[in-house]
């Protein structure tokens, strides 16, 4: 029999596995777009809503912090659920929890309870954990020469939510006002609907479950191109985790302080918004390029390229901290460097884990990445106050240096083994 018609031990032919792969990818992308739109509108309005409810602008930054904490808390439990029940239950459960978080935020806005609002945003942050897990889910049935591209397309789908989400604040406010709700609570209605619909997409679209199918293929047909290795590449896992977590810490620390720096130097809110929008575009729009590059020239090479972009951006920001133009250019370059390192690093993790522990290790990687981002954002304010924006950028170069040193160490170890 030809490979296309040969029956696998799973009971599926090769062509049927390919069909499951395409269906799973489409479902994950659709879920990402839906959830991204809802998350983008809610989290964008979160800072404003916290200020309105609490009456204090000093608490506005807690929206991003609480969402990051929620993502970190949920990473390992969702990965454990994926291991025992499959990707669909894990992704759908996370989406439903995020919808519950939007409901809690909506009630908090009506009652004017700040602590309840913060709790709702923590639950909303679980949606970010779903987004992170989804990029790994896209590689469950990938062939080795397409893992980077499959993962990067899912990351790229986040662009839709990142771009459209914030633009729903206005319509959401109008909807809220029409329903007699606080205007800024309106976007939470979009999030509830989008997350619940995403949960349905995951349950219906991920059948058969890609992770469970990949596990069976790996155990029964270890030579299959879809199978993960039966033994873990510890060096690859460690390198991928260092690259994704420290690149994320670099990006979050500088990005979080850029609006503060620009406003303190007299920049308009419109310029701040444009700068952040261009930065987000840099983070996601070229993801397929980095995924293709990771497949063709290697994961480590693409990670190194990402670090070069990050270092160039940080040095540019250090030198041109007083120029609005250079700050904007530098922030776009940081987005590009983060994207290259994150896509290639996540791909390296995905192909280095053994088939049994795949979701568990990926969950730890997401936990480390989210925690690094939270720490980076938390310490960034202290560094900014002590050293200024240029000093913050220079300090962040140390994180890229650690990633490059890790890549060099991995290269030396592989040469020694060879």
Q: Which residues of 227-243 are buried (b: 16+ CB within 10 A; e: fewer)?
A: bbeeebbebbbbbbbbb
Q: What pLDDT is stored for residue 368 in this prediction?
A: 93
> What whole-number distance in Å separates Cα of residue 111 and Cα of residue 120?
13
Alpha carbon separation from 259 to 255, 273, 277, 362 (Å, rounded): 8, 8, 12, 32
CB of 407 within 8 A of CB of 304?
Answer: yes
Q: What pLDDT is stored for residue 130 in this prediction?
A: 92
CB of 134 within 8 A of CB of 158?
Answer: no
CB of 272 within 8 A of CB of 415?
Answer: no
Sequence-ordered list of residues with C-beta below 8 angstroms from that of 396, at least 6 positions apart, any chain: 250, 253, 254, 310, 314
Q: What pLDDT is stored for residue 4 in this prediction?
A: 38
> Which 3 state secondary structure label does DSSP give 222?
coil
- CA-closest candidate to residue 39, choices 193, 156, 180: 193
Q: What pLDDT is stored for residue 163 in this prediction?
A: 67
CB of 16 within 8 A of CB of 97?
Answer: no
Q: What pLDDT is stored for residue 7 in this prediction?
A: 42
Sequence-ordered list of residues with C-beta below 8 angstroms from that of 298, at least 6 positions apart, any chain: none
Q: What is the reported pTM?
A: 0.83
CB of 54 within 8 A of CB of 66?
Answer: no
Q: What pLDDT is stored for residue 1 in this prediction?
A: 36
- Phi/psi of residue 13, nearest 5 degrees: -75, 170
> Which 3 state secondary structure label does DSSP give 317?
helix
CB of 390 within 8 A of CB of 321?
Answer: yes
Start-to-end Cα distance in the chain:
37
> What whole-number distance in Å separates Cα of residue 131 and Cα of residue 351?
19
> What whole-number distance in Å separates Cα of residue 113 and Cα of residue 251?
32
Domain assignments of the chain as residue spans, ordered by start: 1-227, 232-418
Three-state SS string across 106-147, please? HHHHHHCCHHHHHHHHHHHCHHHHHHHHHHHHCCCCCCHHHH
| H helix runs in 180-268, sequence order | 186-205, 210-220, 234-264
pLDDT digits (tens, 9 = 90+) for 279-334: 888 888 899 999 999 999 999 999 999 999 999 999 999 999 888 899 999 999 99
Fold of the domain built from segment(s) 1-227: Growth Hormone; Chain: A; (1.20.1250)
CB of 291 within 8 A of CB of 370?
Answer: no
Q: What pLDDT is stored for residue 160 in this prediction?
A: 75
Residue numbers in the chain where pLDDT is lower than 70: 1-12, 38, 40-41, 43-48, 56-61, 161-163, 165-167, 169, 220-231, 269, 418
Domains 1-227 and 232-418 share a fold: yes
Give the CA count within 13 Å in the CB-facing half-sphere of 159: 18
Fold of the domain built from segment(s) 232-418: Growth Hormone; Chain: A; (1.20.1250)
């Amino acid at each position: 029999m030809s490979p296309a018609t040969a029956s696998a031990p799973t009971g599926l032919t090769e062509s049927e596995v390919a069909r499951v792969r395409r269906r799973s990818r489409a479902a994950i992308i659709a879920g990402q777009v839906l959830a991204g739109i809802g998350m983008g509108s809610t989290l964008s309005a979160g800072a404003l809503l916290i200020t309105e409810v609490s009456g204090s602008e000093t608490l506005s930054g807690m929206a991003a912090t609480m969402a990051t904490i929620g993502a970190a808390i949920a990473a390992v439990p969702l990965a454990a659920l994926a291991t025992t029940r499959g990707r669909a239950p894990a992704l759908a459960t996370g989406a439903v929890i995020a919808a519950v978080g939007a409901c809690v935020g909506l009630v908090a806005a009506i009652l004017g309870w700040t602590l309840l609002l913060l709790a709702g945003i923590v639950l909303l942050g679980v949606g970010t954990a779903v987004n992170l897990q989804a990029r790994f889910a896209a590689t469950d049935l990938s062939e080795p020469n397409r893992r980077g591209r499959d993962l990067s397309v899912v990351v790229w789908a986040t662009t839709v939510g990142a771009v459209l989400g914030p633009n729903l604040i206005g319509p959401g406010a109008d909807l809220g006002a029409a329903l007699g709700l606080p205007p800024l609570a309106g976007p939470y209605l979009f999030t509830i609907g989008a997350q619940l619909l995403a949960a349905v997409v995951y349950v219906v679209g991920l059948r058969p479950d890609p992770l469970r199918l990949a596990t069976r293929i790996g155990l029964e047909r270890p030579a299959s191109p879809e199978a993960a290795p039966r033994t873990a590449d510890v060096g690859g896992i460690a390198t991928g985790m260092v690259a994704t977590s420290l690149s994320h810490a670099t990006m979050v620390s500088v990005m979080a302080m850029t609006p503060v720096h620009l406003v303190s130097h007299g920049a308009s809110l419109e310029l701040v918004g444009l700068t952040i929008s261009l930065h987000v575009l840099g983070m996601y729009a070229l993801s397929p390029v980095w995924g293709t590059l990771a497949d063709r020239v290697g994961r480590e090479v693409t990670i190194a390229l990402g670090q070069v972009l990050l270092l160039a951006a940080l040095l540019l920001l250090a030198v041109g901290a007083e120029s609005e133009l250079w700050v904007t250019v530098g922030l776009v370059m940081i987005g590009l460097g983060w994207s290259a390192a994150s896509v290639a690093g996540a791909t390296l993790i995905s192909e280095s884990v053994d088939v049994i522990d795949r979701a568990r290790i990926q969950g730890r990687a997401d936990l480390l990445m989210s925690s690094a981002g939270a720490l980076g954002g938390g310490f960034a304010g202290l560094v900014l106050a002590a050293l200024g924006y240029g000093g913050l950028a220079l300090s962040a170069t140390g994180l890229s240096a650690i990633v490059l040193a890790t890549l060099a160490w991995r290269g030396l170890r592989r040469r020694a083994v060879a």
